[in-house]
Amino acid sequence: MDFFVQELVNGVTTGALYALVALGFSMVYGVLKLLNFAHGDLYMIGAFTGYFVIQWFGGPSALTIPVPLLLVIMLVLAAGLAGGLGVAIERFAYRPLRNAPRIAPLITAIGISFFLENSALLLFGGQTRVYNTPDFISLSSGLSIGPVTISTVQIMVLVLGAALMISLQLLVNRTRLGRRMRAVAADREAAEMLGINVNMTIAVTFFLGSALAGVAGVMAGLMFNQVTNLIGFIVGLKAFTAAVVGGIGSIPGAMLGGLLIGMAESFITGYVSSTYTNLIVFGILIAVMLLRPSGLLGRAQLQKV
Amino acid sequence: MSIDQPPASPPPAGPPGGPQVGADEWVARQSHRQEQLPAWLRPAQQLAGRVGWWPRLAIAALVAAALPALGLGGFQLQVGINALLLAMLALGLNVTVGWAGLLDLGYVAFFGFGAYGFALLSSGQLGSAGIHLPAYLSLPVVMVGAAILGLLVGLPSRRLIGDYLAIVTLFFGEAFLEFTTNVAPGTLGGANGIVGIDPIQAFGFQLTSNTGYFYLLLILLVATMAALRLLDSSRTGRAWRAVREDPLAAASMTIPVSRVKLMAFAFGAVIAALAGTVFAAQQISVFPPDFNTAYLILIYAGLILGGAGSITGAVLGGLVVVITLDGFLRSPTEAGYIFYGLIVVALLVKLRPWRKLGGVVAATVALGFAAHAITGAISASAVAGGPQSSGWIASAVRDWVIVPASPKAAGNIGFVVLVCLLIALVQARGWWRTALLPPAIYLAACVWEARLVAEPSITRQILIGVVLIVMMNSRPQGLLGSRRVEVIT
């Protein structure tokens, strides 16, 4: 039972990360109907940003500034960089293809993902970078309820993740910007005719979604400690599926999907075998996509002719 | 763009007093809006137009067959084999993606399936003594297996469209990698792969030399091209294109959409598996990373570069990609020819009038010498590096590019600035674009000499990504394809 609860905690934390990435995926898919394969690589960029911020301020064991300030700088910088990059990608590569056949932006997205991965390889090298989180956030400082321990980093990921998701939900449902985003997602042409600045709205959506991926990257670096140029691919894949499992375009759906996938992964690793984790998760995902393509919280859409 | 030009000649006048019968007016007008090549290429286009498709195939095959006899050997022959393999894979992908319009991102797994299937059937891996089937048994078994697998993977295409299908097939590709790496390491070899695979053998004859595999692949490629050419104009081929353009309309024309999609998957899978068997036999070993996403993207780059939907385009794209990346990018000197050559060709094709072209070139050269002189006067070590490449181009640009004594950090910064500059260049219009060109070219040359030449394997991957992005944005029909008439809804 203790083991079960521990795995549950780990699963929920990983799931929160997936959910953050999935949110961005889902938002972008909502407004552009585009599968942004490069989204996972923005998560990678965020993780690298966090790593270099730590190095800049003296390295993990000899920090020159207080830890909370460091965390804020890491998160803000990563969010800004990933968000800016996301906007640049949209402006540069996706906007000219808005009216092209569906397959063209998809292949462009694959090209961008490949470009980003290998540019990171060129710039940062192929070796694994290590955050060394335990050096500045003590492992023993977390909560322990009986035999179950929750580390400080995990608490931080959960709290920040929940806060971001709630504020995003409020943003989309309660503000003028959110209303514009929903309008563009529902019907781009009609939105344009009603005087909504569609390009601006799409750019803002890209910024928000990509910034979330950047934040998730920093949190993943803090939690898993390791950063390479290839971490984005699989996470992007799982995040997309999280978005699909929950129902694409739906924000609560993306959160639910992320949590489910995180927990599934954690339980398979804990109870079955870590060798087969990815294989089994992929199998589950394929099954979900085949059996319920509209997702758990999504509604089946009628095909418009 | 040429599409905006007025028609070269007025549309054929219909019979007086009414619209032309039997031809949609709009389509009739579009047929005159064919792409105009630059004037100096037009004679070649006319000449090519006079020779039919089949004679052209025969000529190309004969030329390719003469290459080993003309002294192609060793490393070059291996590049040739790789190129033929990729051309074959691009052909198969063309069936699924180019004709049927189904984005199959697990395609490389069929290649892997063929390779692993052949490896298991012709090595000591299965049973105590192993199975050593002759090629006329193992090849059909593997191909039938691939067809069945293709049907299974294609099954989701009955329900899922577009993006969902892409992601399911991508999962299939990843699952194949995980499967071969982790499951049954005794049989599949795990990360160590399968080694000691028999060569292709039949009737007591063994194919062991690279020359032999070159010819085998050439024969298979030409045969596949011929078969696909016949298929293209058949009922099935037309059904594929109908489904690609509009599945709903196709279904209402009584085309069995699901079955047609499944056939496309199966055909692609069989061609990929055939390439896989030859790959396994020629390499004598297979490893899971041979079939990773990077290779998938290489196949896509070949197909997109040549033009999805065209047999010739897919083959040429595959050949060009491998010959450029494997053949020339390995040696810094030859890579320099490709790099500077591409810049010159791009300038020649894109910049008009000649005065503007001359101005840009002169400005670039002057900018380089000025920048080099000024930087050298401020700090000698900032220009102490010298080009990382060798050969006459390197000595020609020695006093032109700025390469610091420690080129790595400066090259990295330069790379980031270059990417920003290129984005700005694409966004800029009119006069600004011309003004940004010389610094962009110069910076590209500096980054090339400081960093990219020294890292050929990474440069290669970056180039593949760039090819996909640039082609999709500027010429989605590929280098050889012609612009399709798109009905914009």
CA distance A269 to chain B (A): 14
| pLDDT at residue B11 greater than cutoff 70 | no
CA distance A166 to chain B (A): 28
- Pick the more confident residue, A45 or B195: A45
Q: Which residues pair with B285 in a beta bridge?
A: B195
B164/A107 CB distance under 8 A = no
pLDDT confidence of residue B487: 44
Chain centre to alpha carbon of residue B14:
43
Query: Is B253 an interface residue toward A (CB < 8 Å)?
Result: no
Q: Are B82 and B253 in contact (CB under 8 A)?
A: no
Q: What region does B20 belong to: left with phi over 0, alpha with psi -120 to 50, or beta?
A: beta
User: pLDDT band at B411, cuts 50/70/90?
Assistant: confident
| pLDDT at residue B180 greater than cutoff 80 | yes
Query: How far apart are alpha carbons B420 and A134 in whole angstroms?
Result: 36
CB atoms within 10 A of CB A210: 32
| pLDDT at residue B392 greater than cutoff 90 | no
Compare CB distances from B488 to A99, A118, A303 and report the shortest one's residue: A99
Q: What is the dihedral of CA A276, A278, A282, A283, to 10 degrees?
A: 10
For residue B37, CA distances in Å to A251, B9, B34 come to: 49, 16, 9
Query: How far apart are alpha carbons A43 and A258 in whole angstroms?
Result: 15
Q: Which pLDDT tens digit goes with each residue over A250-262?
A: 788 888 889 888 9
Prediction ipTM score = 0.84
Which among A257, A271, A208, A296 has a CA at the least distance from the CA of A8?
A: A271
| H helix or E strand, kind and range, residue B205 | strand B205-206
Residues 103-122 of B with CB under 8 A from A: 103, 105
Number of C-alpha atoms within 13 angstroms, CB side, residue A173? 9
Average pLDDT, chain A: 86
For residue A92, CA distances in Å to A98, A138, B330 come to: 12, 43, 30
Compare CB distances from A108 to B105, B419, B473 and report the shortest one's residue: B473
Residues 258-277 of A with CB under 8 A from B: 275-276
Query: How far apart are alpha carbons B347 and B365 in whole angstroms?
Result: 14
Percent of chain A topping pLDDT 70: 97
Residues 172-191 of A with CB under 8 A from B: none
Average pLDDT over residues B420-440: 85
A107/B416 CB distance under 8 A = no
Residues of B in contact with A96 (CB under 8 A): 473
A279/B183 CB distance under 8 A = yes
Average pLDDT over residues B315-321: 89
Q: Are B317 and B478 in contact (CB under 8 A)?
A: yes
CA distance A132 to chain B (A): 24
What is the interface size between A and B, counted as CB pairs within 8 Å? 137
Which among B423, B425, B466, B424 has a CA at the least distance from the CA of B324?
A: B466
pLDDT confidence of residue A303: 53
**A7 Cβ contact partners less than 8 Å away, ≥ 6 residues apart:** A266, A267, A269, A270, A271
Residues of A in contact with B175 (CB under 8 A): 279, 282-283, 286
CA distance A123 to chain B (A): 6
CA distance B325 to chain A (A): 15
> Which residue in chain B has the smallest CA separation from A239?
B167
> Which residue in chain A has the smallest CA separation from B410?
A123
Phi, psi of A226 (to 5 degrees): -115, 135
Query: Is A292 an interface residue toward B (CB < 8 Å)?
Result: no
Query: How far apart are alpha carbons B470 and B478 in whole angstroms?
Result: 10
Render the burial of A151-175: b for 16+ CB within 10 Å, e for the rest: bbbbebbbebbeebbeebeeebeee
CA angle B312, B308, B313 (to 5 degrees): 20
B462/A119 CB distance under 8 A = yes
A73: exposed, middle or buried (Cβ count in 10 Å: 0-12, 13-18, 19+): middle
For B310-358, the DSSP string reads -HHHHHHHHHHHHIIIIIITTSHHHHHHHHHHHHHHHHHHH--SHHHHH
Chain centre to alpha carbon of residue A269:
21
Average pLDDT over residues B274-290: 90
Q: Which pLDDT tens digit goes with each residue over B181-215?
A: 888 777 787 788 888 888 887 777 777 788 888 88
B174/A278 CB distance under 8 A = yes
> Which residue in chain B has the smallest CA separation from A280?
B175
pLDDT confidence of residue B8: 46
Cα distance between the two ends of chain A: 53
